[in-house]
Structure 1
Amino acid sequence: MATTSCWFLAFVWAVWWLPLMLAVPEEQQGDGCSAKRCGNLTVSDPFWLPDWEAGRSCGPLDFEVGCFHDNIPFLRSSGFDGYSGFSIMNISYEERNLRVVDLHKKSDFNVPNACNFPRLNTSSKLALPFKVNNSNPNLIFYNCTKAAANPDWAMVELTCLDATNAYVRAGVRHDATGAYAGYALEGCDAIVVPVVSSAGSANASNYEQLIQDGFLLTWDPVTDPI
């Protein structure tokens, strides 16, 4: 008799608990995956804004968009945490493009009458599936051990706190392979920074504004796992 009662109680408990177990995924996924606003930008599929309080997760980490101060949407850069990487100015879902600003590059030149020379190519901070759009021309920054011999390029000399012989040139065509040897200068380290396509013929002296205007990122379409 005692055994029968135990089985009956176990059955009742299972019937009562099973609907609750099945309801949890619905609660976790619910409206946490719907379109949301961050500042003036609508974030929707395939991007998503996490709901930290509810612990919701709506997709691959690569497509998570942060929202700094509930107002500034941003994409984290590879190898960095927190509010770093790329602030998002606009998203074109049809063309799979984001217009973003490299926050590190922007802060490098946020120094009155000077700059901090950039240390990394922008493309090196991108995690898959994101890549620089082929339409973007580039700025190339040079940090040289001595005054550079200008090979008939329209270069502008920079005043940087951590570089004596620093220069920048604009209008360099994007190369998806990263083969920029034709733009190398002897004795100089080069940093490649993409800018928007309208800057193709821009004057290098406008490099700060070009960086603030951002550039285009492209992402590959999301495919369901087989």
Structure 2
Amino acid sequence: MPPSSWFLTLIWVWCLPLMLVEAEEQQEEVCSAKCGAVTISNPFWFTDLETGRSCGSPGSPDFQLTCLNNSYPLLPSSVRVTLGFAILNISYGERSLHVIDLGKLQLLHDPPKPKIFNSCLPVWNTSTKLGRPFKISPINLELILYNCTEKAAARARREKELVRAKTMRCVNTSNTFVRAGVPYDPTGSYSGYALEDCAPIVLPVLPSGETNASHYERLIQSGFLLKWEPPPPEQSPLTELVPSHGD
């Protein structure tokens, strides 16, 4: 073998371990893991509770998820002592999440029953529980739950568009009513659907043909879509130290 070939071979043997280490480091940086059937990737991240290893570099706390029993990822609520959102699917290209509001799922008599449903926690409007990067997709319709006084309930029973929530738990089923098919209101006021002496709780649902209030259990269990804005790019320390031209 010519001397030049020996030299190239030695360089290759010497460089190969370094190349493998570099490739391994790059692979770890692009960490992609699954929780149940959902792939977790940037900008989302979570820590494996068994190994203590973080999937992806810990980024914005707004995008930190929890993997519940390796069954589905959970997006936490921004309101303390309230249930968050079970993620059924993530579309990274469209920056959308298909989620179920667990706070509303606890109202149903026969949901999947993990321990989190053992007690009745406060129920909030879904939009109130979202972190800063997340918004309700305007493609959704809205389901409104009304918790009425006795007098208001008597009036509500005469409303044809309202259905009494006979199968809900954690509420007074005699005075709780459901309205479905309400168009999405970006202001979140839904003032045109207010009922006197009835406290409303607003929940987005996926449009599915004729959205009937009597199907409220199926609508809640089917979930809805969220959109997210990507986190701002992180600045390196060197970038932060460079003075601007105006200084």
Do the two structures share a fold, i.e. TM-score over 0.5? yes
Say if 1:33 and 1:48, in contact at 8 Å, map to a contact too.
no
| 2:13 matched residue in structure 1 | none
Q: Greater CA deviation, 133-142 or 102-111?
A: 102-111
Tell whether 2:92 aligns with 1:93: yes
Unmatched 5+ stretches in structure 2: 1-23, 112-119, 236-247
- 3-state SS of 2:227 partner: strand
The one-letter code sitting in structure 2 at the alignment partner of 1:70 is N
| 1:202 matched residue in structure 2 | 211
Tell whether 2:212 aligns with 1:212: no
Q: Greater CA deviation, 98-107 or 140-149?
A: 140-149
The one-letter code sitting in structure 1 at the alignment partner of 2:155 is A
Cα distance in 1 for residues equivalent to 2:98 and 2:40: 14
Say if 2:103 and 2:121, in contact at 8 Å, map to a contact too.
no
| 2:65 matched residue in structure 1 | 65
The CA deviation string for residues 49-81 of structure 1, in whole angstroms up to 9 with x for no partner, is 224544544211111121111222111111337
Aligned pairs for 1:1-226 within 5 A: 31=28, 34-52=31-49, 53-54=51-52, 56=54, 57-80=57-80, 84-110=83-109, 119-145=123-149, 146=151, 147-150=153-156, 153-159=160-166, 160=168, 162-163=171-172, 164-198=174-208, 201-225=210-234
Offset of 1:31 from its aligned partner? Answer: 2.5
- 3-state SS of 2:215 partner: helix
The one-letter code sitting in structure 2 at the alignment partner of 1:156 is V
Offset of 1:33 from its aligned partner? Answer: 5.4
The one-letter code sitting in structure 1 at the alignment partner of 2:69 is H
Cα distance in 1 for residues equivalent to 2:110 and 2:37: 28
- 3-state SS of 1:209 partner: helix
| 1:13 matched residue in structure 2 | none
The CA deviation string for residues 78-97 of structure 1, in whole angstroms up to 9 with x for no partner, is 13379x31000011111110
Between Structure 1 and Structure 2, how many residues are aligned?
195
The CA deviation string for residues 154-196 of structure 1, in whole angstroms up to 9 with x for no partner, is 1101235532311101000111111211000111111101001
The one-letter code sitting in structure 2 at the alignment partner of 1:211 is I
CA spacing shift, 1:117–1:40, aligned 2, 3 Å = closer
Cα RMSD of the aligned pairs, angstroms, is 2.8
- Percentage of pairs with the same residue: 46
Q: Greater CA deviation, 88-97 or 157-166?
A: 157-166
The one-letter code sitting in structure 2 at the alignment partner of 1:61 is P
- 3-state SS of 2:179 partner: strand
Say if 2:135 and 2:226, in contact at 8 Å, map to a contact too.
yes
The one-letter code sitting in structure 1 at the alignment partner of 2:203 is V
